[in-house]
Structure 1
Amino acid sequence: MYGLQLGEQGTCEHYHSEFDIAGLKCRECQRFYACYQCHDDLEKHQFVPTAKQSREPAVLCGHCGNLLTFARYKEGHCPSCGSAFNPKCALHESVYFS
């Protein structure tokens, strides 16, 4: 996972609560970032959202490294380790998913 001031479980300088552990994949560069702001600061292009219907993993659990589809991510926790994701990420859903 990439980001600015990246913590051990995927937190970054913008989002750093214990629940900010989801890495989101940019469709353009195919890299997982802690947030779109980190992405846009570190890449030469803007974050491009992944299609909600994609069968390809679009989220990386920062706690265990499990890859999730959008549908699995929307369950609110990692199905592998049980770590909860920040429910406030829904406020930015349109940035990460189309």
Structure 2
Amino acid sequence: MLLHGHEIKGSNIDQETRCSHYHTEIDRIAIKFYCCDTYYPCHSCHEEKGCSHPQVWPKNEFHQKAILCGACGYELTINEYLACNASCPSCKSAFNAGCSLHKHLYFEV
């Protein structure tokens, strides 16, 4: 799916990057996976449709843009995302704070 000028891969993606695995109102980000440089709504979508070689973003790359706000299309750096208090710095749309429980699947911790 093409969304805000970016290709998003995954399962049943809507217009704000929600997928079949995470689809509440506040599930509105996509994460660019380090291993394949491709946006997915979640780790489960990457497991199903990704490169099959998952790798997390190393800390020295946290300045890279790797999070896409599904509401407005703003791309956040990883540092920006980790410090954003679960809302988009551009449009103020809420993100799912529970995603922090999975950060070890995306980022070096």
TM-score normalised by structure 1 residue count: 0.91
* SS across alignment from 1:58: strand
**Structure 2 counterpart SS, 1:37:** helix
TM-score by length of 2: 0.83
Match of 1:97 in 2: 107
Secondary structure of 2:30's counterpart equals strand
Partner of 1:82: 92
Q: Percent identity?
A: 37
8 Å CA contact 1:39–1:46 kept in 2: the answer is no
Cα offset, 1:53, TM superposition: 4.2
Q: How many residues align?
A: 98
Task: Give RMSD over aligned pairs.
Answer: 1.3
Q: Deviations over 1:3-60 (max 9, x none)?
A: 1000110000000011111111111110110001101101241432213442111101
User: Could you tell me which of 4, 9, 19 is aligned with 1:2?
Assistant: 9
For 1:59 and 1:91, the matched residues in 2 are separated by 16
Question: Partner letter of residue 105 of structure 2?
Answer: V
The 5 Å alignment of 1:7-26 reads 7-26=14-33
Runs of 4+ in 1 over 4 A off after TM superposition: none
